[in-house]
Chains A and B, each alone.
Chain A
Amino acid sequence: MSTLDYLFQGFGTALIWYNLIFAFVGVLIGTAVGVLPGIGPMSGVALLIPVTASITSGLSPEQAATSAIILLAGVYYGAMYGGSTTSILLNTPGESSSVVTTLDGYQMAKKGRAGSALSIAAIGSFVAGIVTLLALIFLAKPLSAVALKFGPSEYFSLMLLGLGAVSGLAGKSVTKALIMTVCGLLLGTIGIDSVSGIARFTFDVPWLYQGIEFLTIAVGLFALGEVFKTILEKEEEDGEMARINNLIPSKEEMKESAGPIARGSILGFFVGILPGAGATLASFFSYLLEKKISKNPAKFGTGAIAGVAAPESANNAASGGAMIPLLTMGIPGSGTTAILMGALMMYNVQPGPLLFEDHPQVAWGLIASMFIGNIMLLILNLPLVKVFAKIIQTPKQFLIPMIIAISIFGVYAVQVSMYDLLLLLTCGVLGYFLSKNDYPIAPLVLGLVLGPMVENNLRRALTISNGDYSVFFTRPISMVFLLITALWLIVPFMMKKKGKEVVINVEG
């Protein structure tokens, strides 16, 4: 079957009534998550995994996986839309990927052009979403064909590259990021070893035999960690919401932002594909690019529409681009995609080159639903932007305890174990203290998700080579991956030594 046939089948899946509802709920919650500062896409997605797992429990496994991933991905790219709203209206970015948008977006709002800033941001996000989807469709087949040729040694090196890249870019200190990665990998070794069937680090505790559940750790570290942060560091919100008067951008504004949107989409897409670099970096780079090629760079920071259009397109494109390594090779490049991958694996769907062969319904259903989701977002965001902006006024008094209750309910519903709840609470406290002290959490979750796969591929490769470790260096592709990993970790380190400022990725 050709790609087009698959795509049509995908639309067939995505247009089933409940999948439409799932996509709609996903993008709706995503936008809300994007608007609310304090809840990022990572904790939003983590929080919703158990909820979707219980909602989809009545469907067949493959359908359940499709519906769940449609909803979760919707939260992910929906958050990219929502993040711009508060950046522009309140000067408080809802996501780290919208920080750059505040520079010009809020200035525009001050000048009474909030409406056009918002609509340009939404249009830019939409265009970027479509561009990346088209690229995803064209790249999916050839990329997974390449990835199919990989042996265990290539996979091992590729996963190391993914882990190295995320650690190299996450947080202020590479050492801390690497520690978190190693901790994640170590946590992944707890439980029954899938190759030999030997129990490791279980201390005869039955609860530990199935291994540390990724879901518990992710919800605890991200969602509860952020909740505790909000409780401990109570902030008084101030700032007046800018008024939105005219939502339709003028022809001039459209013309002015067409270029930045196109450039932002393409740049964001490629940054998104790179492991480790996420939406935050993409928006940052595209803003710098626009400033550089602009005829009068002095205009930036005073309300240039290009300063809104470019980063907003870029962060949306990056979130789409990040799906490519996840879907075609099974390597998540960021914290959020790691969580999405963990969610897929909960349904026994292994992302990777075989995904398009084994589960075309999941893969193409997701791609088709992203089309629909992006259209929904555009329709939702333009007229309803005022409603969404109101979400920020949700009293924390009710929101925070409810997030705790939802995470406890979610983890219990899936795990049915009190020990998991205790682990959840511990992770919440740990998550707060770790991220407060610049220990990035995304690498830990990535390590936990990838750990068993890294180990299996390592051991497979070594079994094939009869224990000869040189196999990783003699196979050319594997060698290249390892070289890039080394460079990725060493170059930022050298640059820091020289006193240069290194751009880091705050959120995964």
Chain B
Amino acid sequence: MAIKFDRVASIVFLAVGVLFIVGSRHISSSSYGSVVGPDIFPFVLGGLLVLLSIRLFFEANQSKGAEGNKEKLEYKPFIIIFVATLLYILTLETIGYVITTFLFLLVCFQTMERKKLIMSIIISAAFSGLVYFLFVDVLKGTLPGWPIWF
């Protein structure tokens, strides 16, 4: 797993390095009063990243140890929580903080462990309400509170 990851990562890093080198060629090469323009630093770094990723690629190929100890990963709760977080982020500005946070927390609490439903509801409601009250009413911060069509 780790070695495969390293190979893929080295190619990704290589691509990033090349992109930065190419990108830095489009930046004007000098600024007024200085011989060193804004393009040098990213250019050199991009080059460094390319060199390092090539090295990583060879390192990954060299150490082909047979690491067969597969850990059991809990993908299901992770994916549910990930999707819930994504939805939470995307709907935060339209539906507002209080409702989305409440739903998000409730879903996640129940995903982590399917028990204590009433406790989960109480904690989610208390958290979202309290944070909103403290931040907006006490600290006068900005947070989209309720749905925009409200």
- Residues on A facing B (Cβ under 8 Å): 54-55, 57-58, 173, 175-176, 178-179, 182-183, 185-186, 189, 193, 195-196, 198, 200-201, 228, 231-234, 395-398, 400-402, 404-405, 408-409, 412-413, 416, 418, 421-422, 424-425, 429, 433, 437-439, 454-455, 458-459, 462-463, 466-467
Cβ-closest chain B residue relative to A178:
B52
Q: Which 8 residue pairs across A and B have the least CB separation, nearest first?
A: A401-B108, A196-B31, A467-B35, A193-B38, A397-B112, A421-B89, A397-B113, A462-B36
Whether A458 contacts B41 in the complex (CB less than 8 A), given A175-B55, A179-B56, A233-B74, comes out as yes
Chain A residues with CB under 8 Å of B16's CB are 183, 186
Could you tell me if A463 and B36 are in contact, using CB atoms closer than 8 angstroms?
Answer: yes
CA distance A88 to B88 in the complex (A): 40
Could you tell me if B74 and A437 are in contact, using CB atoms closer than 8 angstroms?
Answer: no
Within 8 A of A (CB), among B63-101: 71, 73-75, 77-78, 81-82, 85-86, 88-90, 92-93, 97, 101
Could you tell me if B139 and A58 are in contact, using CB atoms closer than 8 angstroms?
Answer: yes
Whether A175 contacts B77 in the complex (CB less than 8 A), given A397-B116, A412-B143, comes out as no
Chain B residues with CB under 8 Å of A425's CB are 82, 85-86, 89
With beta carbons under 8 angstroms apart, the residue of A186, A422, A454, A467 that contacts B49 is A186
Chain B proximity of A458: nearest CB distance (Å):
7
A–B Cβ pairs within 8 angstroms, 8 of them? A182-B45, A232-B73, A395-B113, A404-B104, A404-B108, A405-B127, A409-B135, A462-B36
In the assembled complex, B147 has its CB within 8 A of some CB on chain A = no
Chain B residues with CB under 8 Å of A405's CB are 101, 104-105, 127, 131
In the assembled complex, B18 has its CB within 8 A of some CB on chain A = no
Whether A401 contacts B81 in the complex (CB less than 8 A), given A182-B45, A437-B5, comes out as yes
Chain A residues with CB under 8 Å of B85's CB are 404, 408, 425
Total interface residues in chain B, CB < 8 Å: 67
CA distance A183 to B46 in the complex (A): 9
CA distance A189 to B82 in the complex (A): 29
CA distance A183 to B16 in the complex (A): 9
CA distance A292 to B92 in the complex (A): 58
Chain B residues with CB under 8 Å of A186's CB are 16, 20, 42, 45-46, 49
Kindly name the residue among A195, A231, A402, A429 whose own CB sees the greatest number of chain B CB atoms within 10 A: A231
In the assembled complex, B11 has its CB within 8 A of some CB on chain A = no
Chain B proximity of A138: nearest CB distance (Å):
37
Chain B proximity of A445: nearest CB distance (Å):
16
Chain A proximity of B113: nearest CB distance (Å):
4
- Residues on B facing A (Cβ under 8 Å): 1-2, 5-6, 9, 13, 16, 20, 23-24, 27-28, 31-38, 40-42, 45-46, 48-49, 52-53, 55-56, 59, 71, 73-75, 77-78, 81-82, 85-86, 88-90, 92-93, 97, 101, 104-105, 108-109, 112-113, 115-116, 120, 123, 127, 131, 135, 139-143
Kindly name the residue among A397, A455, A463 whose own CB sees the greatest number of chain B CB atoms within 10 A: A397
Chain A proximity of B68: nearest CB distance (Å):
16
Chain B proximity of A199: nearest CB distance (Å):
9
With beta carbons under 8 angstroms apart, the residue of A193, A408, A429, A462 that contacts B82 is A429
Cβ-closest chain B residue relative to A414:
B141
Cβ-closest chain A residue relative to B112:
A397
Chain B proximity of A313: nearest CB distance (Å):
36
Could you tell me if B141 and A198 are in contact, using CB atoms closer than 8 angstroms?
Answer: no
Cβ-closest chain A residue relative to B37:
A196
Chain B proximity of A78: nearest CB distance (Å):
23
Chain A proximity of B14: nearest CB distance (Å):
10
CA distance A421 to B92 in the complex (A): 10
Chain A proximity of B125: nearest CB distance (Å):
13
Kindly name the residue among A196, A234, A408, A418 whose own CB sees the greatest number of chain B CB atoms within 10 A: A196
CA distance A402 to B106 in the complex (A): 10
Could you tell me if A175 and B52 are in contact, using CB atoms closer than 8 angstroms?
Answer: yes
Chain A residues with CB under 8 Å of B135's CB are 54, 409, 413
With beta carbons under 8 angstroms apart, the residue of B48, B93, B101 that contacts A418 is B93
Whether A400 contacts B108 in the complex (CB less than 8 A), given A198-B27, A231-B74, comes out as yes
CA distance A397 to B119 in the complex (A): 11
A54-B141, A185-B45, A408-B92 known; 8 new pairs, CB 8 Å cut-off, are: A57-B139, A182-B45, A183-B16, A397-B112, A413-B135, A418-B90, A437-B5, A459-B36
Cβ-closest chain B residue relative to A421:
B89
Chain B proximity of A175: nearest CB distance (Å):
5
Could you tell me if B105 and A401 are in contact, using CB atoms closer than 8 angstroms?
Answer: yes
Chain B proximity of A160: nearest CB distance (Å):
12
Could you tell me if B9 and A437 are in contact, using CB atoms closer than 8 angstroms?
Answer: yes
Chain B residues with CB under 8 Å of A429's CB are 82
Kindly name the residue among B9, B36, B52, B71 whose own CB sees the greatest number of chain A CB atoms within 10 A: B36
Could you tell me if B35 and A397 are in contact, using CB atoms closer than 8 angstroms?
Answer: no
Chain B residues with CB under 8 Å of A54's CB are 135, 139, 141
Whether A201 contacts B20 in the complex (CB less than 8 A), given A175-B59, A413-B141, comes out as yes
